Amino acid sequence: MSEFSDSELSRILEENKFRANLSDADLSGSNLSSAKLFLANLSKANLREANMRKAYLREANMREANMKKANLRKADLRRADLRDTNMNESDLSGADLEYANLECADLSDANLRGTDLLGASLRGANLMRVRGLTIEQLSSVGTLCDAELSSERMEQVRKKYPHLLEEIGLDEEELSKPKIITLRTSYKKLSLSEIRSMPNVSIRDKTRRGLTAQSSINHDYNIKTIKGNKVVVDNATGLMWHQSGSDDRVKWREAKDWIEDLNSEGCAGYHDWRLPTVDEAVSLLESSEKNGDLYIDPVFSKKQNWIWTGNRKSGGSEDAWRVNFGSGRVDGWYVGYSCYVRPVRSVE
């Protein structure tokens, strides 16, 4: 098991804010409070009595990790892989475990007061003597099949939510369907704090007007030519993108007119093209320069380095959100400024 000094750990966390590899590391007693460990690999790590209060561990791989007596209060563990972990006597009060995989995890004597367990898989998990856990919390989990519960709690679940104790059977067709990541499609005004809390995004830096970021989505792009028009279908998000976009930069309101003209002509045979939401546009940001000097996949044209989104900035400003593929910047900018348009539509 690899051991790290405090300085070495600080350096690793600073240099690897995205997908840090701490597999099999001895981090017992370490202070990881508020650490940014999005998509980190902490499998089989020794985190016994570690302080991970408010740590950002979303989608982290923590399989078979030892987190006995660890402080995970208010930690973000959404969609984390926590299979076979030892969380005996750990404090998970107020933590977010939405859709986390806790199969066969040992949560005995843990504190789950106020923990969000929406969609979490607790198949085979040890939930004996768990503190602060309510029947309402259990009602929102994905499954409790084969979980170890006290006889009293088991009877409550069996009476109110018996489906949680049953095996979930999926046919081969359902199992073969790829999971589509659903992104925001509404054009509501968004504040800076809302932009900084977008899902499926890793923030590299915060700026006065926004942030620099990269998407965490594993795209499955497929370029097609339909009725003479090149489009890019992303099977990961269920979106169809115009492969290029506008030839010229236009103001935000002119961008909407440009989209209307595109729909009247019927690009690729479709008439429902629109400006992307900021979530959709940011989903295209890559972690490095992949298309010349742009942080976007080379399947797209590199001319449209700045694009408008359909979301305005809240707070009474005259700004709309835009995305810069030349730097990964996402910021609110005056609508009288000119940017390119890259239209999108949802695949039916």
pLDDT digits over 103-126, tens only? 999 999 999 999 999 999 999 999
- Residue 182, in any domain of the structure: no
- Residue 86, in any domain of the structure: yes
Do residues 152 and 267 share a domain?
A: no
Do residues 201 and 333 share a domain?
A: yes
Q: How confident is the model at residue 186 (pLDDT cuts 50, 70, 90)?
A: confident
Do residues 1 and 139 share a domain?
A: yes
- Residue 326, in any domain of the structure: yes
Question: Residue 30 is part of a domain; what is its CATH number?
Answer: 2.160.20
Last-in-domain residue among 123, 139, 171:
171
Do residues 162 and 308 share a domain?
A: no
pLDDT at 174 over 70: no
- Residue 179, in any domain of the structure: no
Q: Does an H or E element contain 157, and which?
A: helix 151-160
Residue recorded with tokens 């690729």:
268
Task: Give percent of the chain with pLDDT exceeding 70.
Answer: 91
Do residues 142 and 268 share a domain?
A: no
Q: Position 239: which residue type?
A: L
Q: What is residue 269's DSSP assignment?
A: G
Residue 85 lies in domain: 1-171
Question: What is the pLDDT, as a whole number, of residue 179?
Answer: 72
Last-in-domain residue among 171, 204, 223:
171
Determine the average pLDDT of the residues in 49-78: 94
Picking from 333, 330, 338, the residue whose alpha carbon sits closest to that of residue 320 is 333
- Residue 232, in any domain of the structure: yes
Determine the average pLDDT of the residues in 195-210: 89
Last-in-domain residue among 138, 171, 204:
171
Q: How many domains does the chain have?
A: 2
- Residue 177, in any domain of the structure: no
Q: How confident is the model at residue 7 (pLDDT cuts 50, 70, 90)?
A: low
Do residues 303 and 217 share a domain?
A: yes
Do residues 116 and 197 share a domain?
A: no
d(CA 258, CA 256): 5
Question: What is the pLDDT, as a whole number, of residue 4?
Answer: 56
Do residues 165 and 200 share a domain?
A: no
Do 92 and 249 form a contact (C-beta atoms < 8 A)? no
- Residue 186, in any domain of the structure: no
Do 311 and 188 form a contact (C-beta atoms < 8 A)? yes
Question: In a 3-state reduction of DSSP, which class is residue 276?
Answer: coil
Do residues 165 and 20 share a domain?
A: yes
Determine the average pLDDT of the residues in 207-225: 92
pLDDT at 54 over 70: yes
Do residues 155 and 15 share a domain?
A: yes
Question: Residue 284 is part of a domain; what is its CATH number?
Answer: 3.10.100
Do residues 158 and 226 share a domain?
A: no
Do residues 37 and 157 share a domain?
A: yes
Question: What is the pLDDT, as a whole number, of residue 170?
Answer: 47
pTM higher than the cut 0.85: no
Mean pLDDT, rounded, of the chain: 90
Question: What is the pLDDT, as a whole number, of residue 36?
Answer: 87
- Residue 187, in any domain of the structure: no
Question: What is the pLDDT, as a whole number, of residue 12?
Answer: 62
Task: Give percent of the chain with pLDDT exceeding 90.
Answer: 71
Q: How confident is the model at residue 204 (pLDDT cuts 50, 70, 90)?
A: confident
pLDDT at 48 over 90: yes
Q: Which two tokens stand for residue 92?
A: 């998970």
